[in-house]
Structure 1
Amino acid sequence: MTEQLCERYAVADVDSHIIEPADLWTARISSKWGDLIPHVRFHERRQEDVWYVGDKKLYGAGAFAQAGWPEYPPSHPKRLAEANPATVDPKARLSYLDEMGIYYQVLYPNILGFHSHVFLKNVPRELATECVRAYNDWIVEFCSADPKRLVPMTMLPFWDIDESVAEIQRAHAMGHKGVLFAARYDKVGLPRLADDYWSPLLGLAQEMELSLNFHVGFLSAPEELSGAVDQSKKEDFTKESSLVLLGNAQNIAEVVLTGVCDRYPDLKFVSVENGAGWLPFLAETMDWQWKNVGAHKDFPDRLLPSEYMQRQIYGMFWYEQQAMRSVIDLIGDNLMFETDFPHATSLSPGPASESPSPRDVMERALGGLPEQTIGKVLQHTATKLYHLDPPDRA
């Protein structure tokens, strides 16, 4: 029998999510803040546990835990006890990874990642910063089940540049391997990333060799995410969730075209949960327009946009197959694999999922490519980028 790719490599899944436990913040933050602390309570009309900040309702506690769920999205577990245990328990997660043929898994948040606007508008900045620190502490505890395989990413109190710089240093010392970030902070009233305001953070990340990871949902407005979370009509869910998955094009264009990549040549930017098939089109379009409007004359010392992408932009894929060859031609050294477990659009086989197993996806998308390319995509690019320890197995 031919050895599967996941048996030849210690596969890195570079985008997955934890499902936050109901007491994550209430157990770690002073009760003086009362109901402003993110908490879960039962919603009578919906008959499910729901996350709240004050009286602001966010979403069901199990809304993102759809892996293996027997009904089609957006249906989801009403209580976390109904969810796949691997969504909430680190030991169960490790067993699940073994079953799926995955060795490493990079972990992103849900609440802080997808609902940052709520923290900006509804929570005092002091408390919001405490919530960020508490999350960064908790995710290290979660990953302690196997810190070699479970990889935490740092959330920042981005509304305070000094606190953000301090948190990067603190989190890195605890074992965090990268930073959840955004390129369009101007959407929430902060300076654009090209502004010198961000220099202390960008310079530190470059110095510490920490990548900045643009997760597709981070800093999206609630109306932008509504299709990915709450839509009940199948047509709307398909349309909105598909369009959301193109959201990082703005982020990549921002760092490539505003001079950020030029000023920080060793800083790596990662497009997370966004697929990769659109990257060649974006690179070709930016090159064309850069020359078409004469920008290459105004900035003669700059590289072409596609050259910055090849040097500093990383992408990932999960269900894509047809576009993989052109992506590899553009950023073959910077392409990685993801599953998005346990979200609705993830490589999580189940009763109401069209998804094949991650094992099968790897074979279909990468089978027949040069062995060196396969090794980079499945393992070596991620282990180098995130400074992951070598696997225990040979």
Structure 2
Amino acid sequence: MAEQNGALCERYAVADVDSHIIEPADLWTSRISSQKWGDLVPHVRFHERRQEDYWYIGNRKLYGVGAFAQARWPEFPPSHPKKLSEAFPAALDAKQRLNYLDEVGVYYQVMYPNILGFHSHVFLKEMPPELATECVRAYNDWIAEWCSADSRRLIPMMMLPFWDIDESVAEMKRSHELGHKGVLFAARYDKVGLPRLVDDYWEPLLGQAQEMGLSMNFHVGFLNEPDDLKGAVDQSKKLDFTKESALVLLGNAQNVAEVVVSGVCHRYPRLNFVSVENGAGWLPFLGESMDWQWLNVGAHKEYPDRLLPSEYMNRQVYGMYWFENRSLRPVLDQLRDNLMFETDFPHATSLSPGPASESPSPREIIDRSLDGVPDDIVGNVLQHTATRLYNLEEPVRA
């Protein structure tokens, strides 16, 4: 059985499968020609009224440079660093990040974007597709370079120019060669006018991902609110924000149901799908409810060659948790080989104890949530499922 008092972080090379990098102000301006594209290249300018550095595309204001860098910030959200120099250094610098991981008992960390991850629709609205594609390439180059500080432990996830299927196929190959271990993707591209994922349109990309062993990762908020820059209610309205942010964490249920019931998992039996930053307690209920409806409406008679929805989930769908405790046990019972651990560092909801955070440390959460769980399950949740899924080198631990 799992031991207490911090022992789990010592016994396993813990994989944090969802974290973020705060993008530097020159990420795109240092890599893309301003002579050709002018201020359409994403850049940072000082916002006089707010007295804060802001990201811009042309004259379209996005958000403050430190809006996602709230780890160890001394005030509750929506307060955040107004300059990158005010942010916790581990949110920005790779060597500082590695030191921080050692401090909190984490070995691997999988990296997702902020700007491209949450606001790719704004890139498409505010710039030509050619430039948007350049921005994706520049990001993938930059994050691979950042992770090269220790490529065994820092794991980049690629963004794709999903608006162009041929460019996406090419970028998947290129980014994989750079060291990227998975794909940031969405299941409902029909919301932005593209075909559904089950359509043959996506076959070149999904087929290639399956052959390359790359998982498709559905991150909360990616294409969630295409007409809303904030993607959520005002954080200063605490009651509304509590309600809406909790509901957002169920958002990937629609994505999982789409790939399971539409036939995507059936067509690509070796392609894995990951629900990122959505918790895991809802996964057993979703599987059971889809099975109930599948049988109740007679879909099993109409599609006799199909598995039950929950069987596809067991085979190809993965989830992760960070704060859950009471709702975690049913997942461990039913999806023990499909569950991983995350911290969401350095976002406001992350496992980052600080002056304005109620969060325990990752060490405490791990020991509390997995207390009494058999060792083989603990090993999968904390390390082995992630290393298999993302093809990571397993270190030798004493």
Task: Check whether TM > 0.5.
Answer: yes
Render the CA deviation track for 1:337-374: whole Å, top value 9, x for unaligned. Answer: 00000001110000010100000000011111000000
Find the aligned partners of 2:195 and 2:227 in 1 and give their Cα distance: 22
Find the aligned partners of 2:201 and 2:115 in 1 and give their Cα distance: 26
Corresponding residue for residue 237 of structure 1: 241
Render the CA deviation track for 1:240-278: whole Å, top value 9, x for unaligned. Answer: 211111110110000000000000000000000000001
Establish whether residue 272 from structure 1 lines up as the match of residue 280 from structure 2: no
Corresponding residue for residue 90 of structure 2: 86
Render the CA deviation track for 1:186-217: whole Å, top value 9, x for unaligned. Answer: 00000000000000000000000000000011
- For the residue of structure 1 that corresponds to 2:274, the secondary structure is strand
- Picking from 140, 145, 153, the partner of 1:141 is 145
Establish whether residue 9 from structure 1 lines up as the match of residue 12 from structure 2: yes
The question of whether the paired residues in 2 share the 8 Å contact of 1:217 and 1:225 is answered with no
Corresponding residue for residue 120 of structure 2: 116
- Picking from 63, 78, 81, the partner of 2:67 is 63
Find the aligned partners of 1:227 and 1:221 in 2 and give their Cα distance: 5
Establish whether residue 288 from structure 1 lines up as the match of residue 292 from structure 2: yes
The question of whether the paired residues in 2 share the 8 Å contact of 1:224 and 1:244 is answered with no
Establish whether residue 162 from structure 1 lines up as the match of residue 166 from structure 2: yes
Find the aligned partners of 2:256 and 2:226 in 1 and give their Cα distance: 21
TM-superposed CA distance for 1:228, in Å, is 4.0
TM-superposed CA distance for 1:95, in Å, is 0.4
Alignment-mate amino acid for residue 242 of structure 1: A
TM-superposed CA distance for 1:148, in Å, is 0.5
Establish whether residue 21 from structure 1 lines up as the match of residue 8 from structure 2: no
Render the CA deviation track for 1:300-351: whole Å, top value 9, x for unaligned. Answer: 1100000000000000000000111101122110100000000011100000
Render the CA deviation track for 1:206-233: whole Å, top value 9, x for unaligned. Answer: 0000000000111122566736474321
Find the aligned partners of 1:242 and 1:391 in 2 and give their Cα distance: 36
Find the aligned partners of 2:284 and 2:230 in 1 and give their Cα distance: 28
Establish whether residue 126 from structure 1 lines up as the match of residue 130 from structure 2: yes
1:188-337 equivalence runs, <5 A: 188-222=192-226, 226=230, 228=232, 230-337=234-341
Stretches of structure 2 lacking an aligned partner (at least 5 in a row): none
Moved more, 64-73 or 235-244: 235-244
**Judging changes above 3 Å, is the alpha-carbon distance between structure 1 residues 88 and 27 closer, same or farther for their aligned structure 2 residues?**
same
Find the aligned partners of 1:109 and 1:155 in 2 and give their Cα distance: 8
The share of aligned pairs that are identical, in percent, is 77
- For the residue of structure 1 that corresponds to 2:340, the secondary structure is strand
The question of whether the paired residues in 1 share the 8 Å contact of 2:233 and 2:244 is answered with no
The question of whether the paired residues in 2 share the 8 Å contact of 1:225 and 1:244 is answered with no
Q: Which has the higher contact order (CA 8 A, sep 6+)?
A: 2
Alignment-mate amino acid for residue 56 of structure 1: R
TM-superposed CA distance for 1:234, in Å, is 1.0
TM-superposed CA distance for 1:45, in Å, is 1.1
TM-superposed CA distance for 1:393, in Å, is 4.1
Find the aligned partners of 1:270 and 1:215 in 2 and give their Cα distance: 8
Structure 2 length-normalised TM = 0.97
Alignment-mate amino acid for residue 275 of structure 1: G
TM-superposed CA distance for 1:173, in Å, is 0.5
TM-superposed CA distance for 1:392, in Å, is 5.6
TM-superposed CA distance for 1:73, in Å, is 1.0
The question of whether the paired residues in 2 share the 8 Å contact of 1:117 and 1:221 is answered with no
- For the residue of structure 1 that corresponds to 2:301, the secondary structure is helix
The question of whether the paired residues in 1 share the 8 Å contact of 2:70 and 2:80 is answered with yes
- For the residue of structure 2 that corresponds to 1:226, the secondary structure is coil
Structure 1 length-normalised TM = 0.98
The question of whether the paired residues in 2 share the 8 Å contact of 1:74 and 1:229 is answered with no
Render the CA deviation track for 1:153-200: whole Å, top value 9, x for unaligned. Answer: 010000000000000000000100000000000000000000000000
The question of whether the paired residues in 1 share the 8 Å contact of 2:6 and 2:363 is answered with no
Alignment-mate amino acid for residue 291 of structure 2: D
TM-superposed CA distance for 1:391, in Å, is 2.0
Establish whether residue 374 from structure 1 lines up as the match of residue 378 from structure 2: yes
Establish whether residue 183 from structure 1 lines up as the match of residue 163 from structure 2: no
**Judging changes above 3 Å, is the alpha-carbon distance between structure 1 residues 337 and 180 closer, same or farther for their aligned structure 2 residues?**
same
Matched positions, count = 394
The question of whether the paired residues in 2 share the 8 Å contact of 1:315 and 1:336 is answered with yes
Find the aligned partners of 2:231 and 2:168 in 1 and give their Cα distance: 30
The question of whether the paired residues in 1 share the 8 Å contact of 2:233 and 2:240 is answered with no
**Judging changes above 3 Å, is the alpha-carbon distance between structure 1 residues 357 and 228 closer, same or farther for their aligned structure 2 residues?**
farther
Render the CA deviation track for 1:31-88: whole Å, top value 9, x for unaligned. Answer: 1111100111111111111111111111110000000011111111111111100000
Stretches of structure 1 lacking an aligned partner (at least 5 in a row): none
The question of whether the paired residues in 2 share the 8 Å contact of 1:227 and 1:241 is answered with no
- For the residue of structure 2 that corresponds to 1:58, the secondary structure is strand
